[in-house]
Amino acid sequence: MSAAQRQDSKAHFLAQRGALHPHPEQVQDVLFRGGLFFDARDLIQVRYEMVRRHRIDGQAVPQVARSFGVSRQSLYLLIRTSRDLGLLGLFPRKRGPKGAHKCTDEVLAFVRTRQSPASALTLDEMLIAIQEHLGIRLHRRTLERQLAALGKKLRRSNRPSEARPPHPST
């Protein structure tokens, strides 16, 4: 296998795992200039070396950030995340909220208690009940998503269901 083929297979491997550095050309550190072991395309390796350079070698954050082509803020965040999570802190992860922050387990338990066949509430009525009893104002779509994830449905409004033609099989 040629060196070019090895490089392409490694890039493919890293890309599949979300560890391909988006800007390897910005890494100007001495370790990553040539050589076989250190590869600027390997995001995890680059991040590890940045944190090691600061923590173990004692280099200043601005110097390390400049050498690896990242902002000081990004490096500070990486240092804090790796301190809190260890090696897992070096891996890329999704940003933003990981779930609904208002529609908690308490809210879903409240919805379950109000969902009996005898007192089937509409979605609008359920939203009002949640606000009145729990003091939480939810968006209609938030509750719809959470209920869909649970496999439950509420009627959309107070309108009587429109008469549907009978199913051919009945």
Q: Which two tokens stand for residue 151?
A: 């496999």
What are the distances in angstroms from CA 20 to CA 29, 37, 79, 127?
17, 15, 20, 44
| Residue 33, pLDDT above cutoff 90 | no
74: three-class secondary structure by DSSP: helix
The pLDDT tens digits for 70-106 are: 999 999 999 999 999 999 999 988 777 777 788 888 8
Q: How confident is the model at residue 69 (pLDDT cuts 50, 70, 90)?
A: very high
Question: Domain extents for the chain?
Answer: 3-90, 105-150
pTM of the predicted model as reported, rounded to 2 decimal places: 0.56
pLDDT for residue 77: 95
pLDDT for residue 2: 56
- Determine contact, residues 123/157, Cβ cutoff 8 Å: yes
* Side chain identity at residue 149, one-letter code: A
Output the average pLDDT for the chain. Answer: 83
pLDDT for residue 131: 92
